[in-house]
């Protein structure tokens, strides 16, 4: 590195740029253009040339450049107007203004007109080289950000398109969801576990006008009661033992966006009162802290019958009416069996891709079983079942063997010559089919799953009471029932 070349070891084209950049030179001086062309090419750039701003506009219209080197030449208003035009045409790239023996005033005006940098030609090539390098880095970054944004947007789009359903019932749900997308109205999603409440909540947010704003989720059943208040509203530093630092609650995190209150039916009466206050006043009161205004769109979800929870005094009526301004009910899968075939196709394709398996479809005797089953765990149960089958199979089509629940004998994973189970005379209607005589004893997990199912059934799906029955924590119950895909 020599003193007169302070950045001599840095290339003009940044390493990260995966292509040869294009530089457009706009200069009336043909001799200078020739000289620069030589240098730029030697440094790994493609070069276009123009004598004037008009010529540059024509070139840019045909082929965008990463960087335009624009010689100010005509100092004064005409030069500035021409520069503005080029900057406008050069939105995706950068414009570097060059001038001979420039005045400070020209530099300032150029930058104000939208130029990326200003280089005095009298300083030699080195300054220009550095300016080009910086400009190319900036262009590269901008393009990367644009690509990421596009990908993110695509993912949001996917979420919506991936709500599968051709039944009349789902068409109705989607119609209602579309109606509330661009409004701030408070939505309550009701439906059994696994029926798609969160999927619809996300679709509403990510297709509404707040899609760029945060979507924040809080699961009232999965978080221990004692933590829920600070999770929701935050706490001040030193508000209680262990509150070492201030904590921002979910309401603040969701400011200007959407807060998704999942399993709202599990909220204690004490917190119901606090939530009601926030919804009424638009102000939160962090534990031990000062009140603050928040602007949050609330979507809540429940798999309980909130109406009867209100009747029995477990849920405040006034809060219920605040939350259920616009209720949308997700029908259970067993009442919209038309959705089963497209969901099956969708999940097979999804998991085959994910697992890198070339699976074409299912044997003909599988779909009738799936169509007649009751699906207490709804779409989540179907999704999990297909996932297991895709992982289990060694074949290009899924057979009954890959669905242990419907097979007569438990499958021998990995045994290739296992016979395909013959169709059963009667189709299972309950979540757990009667154990066939030759079946080995239930595994610990199966017993656990049965106990949980019974406790949830006995308490009408109330986690707090089911957890008390099972003598385990509510969060544990929630996690396990989710894992087994059998809440309801």
Q: Which residues sit at the interface with Mg ion, rule CB under 5 A?
A: 198
Q: How far is the CB of 197 from Mg ion (least distance, A)?
A: 5
**Shortest CB 198 distance to Mg ion, Å:** 4
CA-nearest of 276, 277, 259, 260 to 316 is: 276
Compute the C-alpha angle 235/237/240, nearest 5°. Answer: 70
Residue 112: contacted member of Mg ion, ligand ATP, none (CB under 5 to 8 Å, by partner type): none
Q: How, if at all, do strands 215-219 and 187-190 pair?
A: unpaired
Q: Which does 180 bind (CB under 5 to 8 A by kind): Mg ion, ligand ATP, none?
A: none
| Distance between CA atoms of residues 254 and 296, nearest Å | 6
Sequence-ordered list of residues with C-beta below 8 angstroms from that of 297, at least 6 positions apart, any chain: 184, 186, 205, 210, 257, 258, 259
Q: Which is nearer to Mg ion, 263 or 402 (CB)?
A: 263
Q: Minimal distance in Å, beta carbon 256 to ligand ATP?
A: 24
**379 contact, one of ligand ATP, Mg ion, none, CB 5-8 Å limit per kind:** ligand ATP
Of 159 and 372, the one with the shorter C-beta distance to ligand ATP is 159
Q: In sequence order, what E strands does 194-271 have?
A: 215-219, 234-235, 247-248, 258-262
Contact status, residue 315 vs residue 309, Cβ threshold 8 Å: yes
Between 197 and 474, CB nearer to ligand ATP? 197
Helices (H) and strands (E) counted in the chain, each on its own, are: 18, 16
The number of residues making up the chain comes to 488
Residue closer to ligand ATP, measured from CB, 37 or 479 = 479
Of 118 and 320, nearer to ligand ATP (C-beta) is: 320
Helices (H), 162-249: 168-181, 197-207, 225-233
303 binds, among Mg ion, ligand ATP, none (CB under 5 to 8 A by kind): ligand ATP
Least gap, CB of 228 to ligand ATP (angstroms): 17
Smallest separation, CB 193 to ligand ATP (Å): 4
At residue 91's C-alpha, the angle toward residues 90 and 92, to 5°, is 95
Tokens of 148: 């990421």
Q: Are 60 and 67 in contact (CB under 8 A)?
A: no
Distance in angstroms (rounded) separating the CA atoms of residues 165 and 203: 14
The minimum distance between CB 139 and ligand ATP, in angstroms, equals 38
Taking a C-beta distance cutoff of 8 angstroms, is the pair 193, 211 a contact?
A: no
* Other CB atoms within 10 A of residue 217 CB: 16
Lookup result for tokens 């309980």: 304
List contacts with ligand ATP (CB under 6 A): 162-165, 191, 193-199, 301, 303, 379-380, 383, 487
Shortest spacing between CB 218 and Mg ion, in angstroms: 11
Q: Is 103 exposed, middle or buried (0-12, 13-18, 19+ CB in 10 A)?
A: exposed
Q: Which does 349 bind (CB under 5 to 8 A by kind): ligand ATP, Mg ion, none?
A: none
C-beta closer to Mg ion: residue 50 or 222: 222
CB of 12 to ligand ATP, least distance (A): 49
Nearer to ligand ATP, 143 or 464 (CB): 464
Tokens of 437: 């005589």
Partner whose binding site includes residue 165, from ligand ATP, Mg ion, none (CB under 5 to 8 Å by kind): ligand ATP
**Residue 79 interacting partner from ligand ATP, Mg ion, none (CB closer than 5 to 8 Å by kind):** none
Q: Closest CB to ligand ATP among 162 and 175?
A: 162
Residue placing its CB nearer to ligand ATP in the complex, 98 or 487: 487
Residue 198 vs 395, nearer CB to Mg ion: 198
Q: Cβ 482 to Mg ion, closest distance in Å?
A: 9
> Least distance in Å: CB of 347 to ligand ATP?
8
Q: Do residues 204 and 176 lie in contact, with contact meaning Cβ atoms separated by under 8 Å? A: no
Per-position b or e across 368-386, b if 16+ CB within 10 A of its CB: ebbeebbbbbbbbbbbbbb
The residue assigned the tokens 């005797």 is 365
Which residues fall within 8 angstroms of residue 175, CB to CB, at 6 or more apart?
Answer: none
- Decide which of ligand ATP, Mg ion, none touches 191; Cβ closer than 5 to 8 Å per partner kind: ligand ATP
462 binds, among Mg ion, ligand ATP, none (CB under 5 to 8 A by kind): none
Among ligand ATP, Mg ion, none, the one that 194 touches (CB under a kind-dependent 5 to 8 A) is ligand ATP
């Amino acid at each position: 590195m020599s003193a007169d070349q302070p950045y001599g070891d840095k290339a003009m084209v940044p390493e990260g740029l995966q292509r040869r950049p294009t530089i457009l030179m706009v200069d009336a001086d043909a001799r200078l253009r020739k000289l620069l062309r030589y240098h730029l090419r030697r440094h790994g750039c493609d070069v276009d040339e123009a004598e004037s701003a008009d010529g540059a506009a024509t070139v840019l219209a045909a082929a965008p450049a990463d960087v335009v080197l624009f010689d100010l030449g005509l100092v004064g208003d005409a030069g500035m107007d021409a520069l503005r035009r080029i900057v406008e045409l050069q939105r995706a790239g950068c414009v570097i203004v060059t001038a001979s023996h420039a005045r400070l005033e020209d530099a300032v005006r150029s930058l104000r007109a939208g130029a990326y940098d200003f280089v005095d030609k009298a300083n030699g090539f080195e300054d220009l080289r550095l300016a080009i390098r910086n400009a190319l880095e900036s262009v590269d970054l901008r393009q990367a950000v644009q690509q990421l944004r596009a990908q993110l947007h695509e993912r949001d789009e996917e979420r919506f398109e991936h709500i599968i359903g051709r039944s009349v019932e789902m068409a109705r749900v989607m119609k209602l969801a579309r109606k509330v997308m661009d409004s701030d109205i408070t939505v309550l999603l009701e439906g059994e576990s696994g029926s798609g409440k969160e999927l619809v909540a996300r679709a509403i947010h990510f297709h509404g006008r707040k899609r760029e704003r945060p979507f924040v989720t809080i699961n009232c059943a999965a978080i221990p009661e004692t933590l829920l208040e600070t999770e929701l509203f935050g706490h001040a530093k030193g508000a209680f033992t262990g509150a070492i630092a201030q904590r921002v609650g979910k309401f603040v995190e969701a400011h200007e966006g959407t807060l998704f209150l999942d399993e709202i039916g599990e909220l204690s009466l004490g917190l119901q009162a606090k939530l009601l206050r926030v919804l009424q006043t638009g102000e939160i009161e962090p534990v031990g802290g000062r009140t603050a205004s928040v602007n949050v769109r609330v979507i809540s979800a429940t798999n309980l019958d909130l109406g009867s929870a209100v009747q029995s005094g477990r849920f405040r009526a006034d809060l219920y009416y605040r939350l259920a301004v616009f209720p949308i009910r997700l029908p259970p899968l067993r009442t919209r069996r038309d959705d089963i075939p497209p969901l099956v196709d969708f999940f097979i394709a999804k998991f085959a891709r994910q697992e890198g398996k070339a699976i074409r479809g299912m044997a003909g005797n599988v779909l009738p079983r799936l169509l007649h089953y009751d699906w207490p765990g709804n779409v989540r149960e179907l999704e999990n079942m297909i996932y297991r089958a895709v992982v289990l199979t060694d074949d290009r089509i899924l057979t009954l063997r890959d669905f242990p629940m419907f097979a007569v004998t438990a499958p021998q994973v990995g045994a290739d010559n296992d016979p395909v189970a013959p169709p059963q005379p009667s189709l299972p209607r309950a979540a757990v089919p009667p154990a066939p005589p030759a079946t080995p004893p239930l595994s610990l997990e199966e017993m656990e799953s049965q106990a949980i199912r019974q406790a949830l059934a006995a308490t009408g799906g109330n986690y707090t009471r089911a957890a008390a029955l099972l003598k385990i924590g509510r969060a544990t119950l929630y996690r396990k029932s989710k894992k087994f895909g059998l809440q309801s």
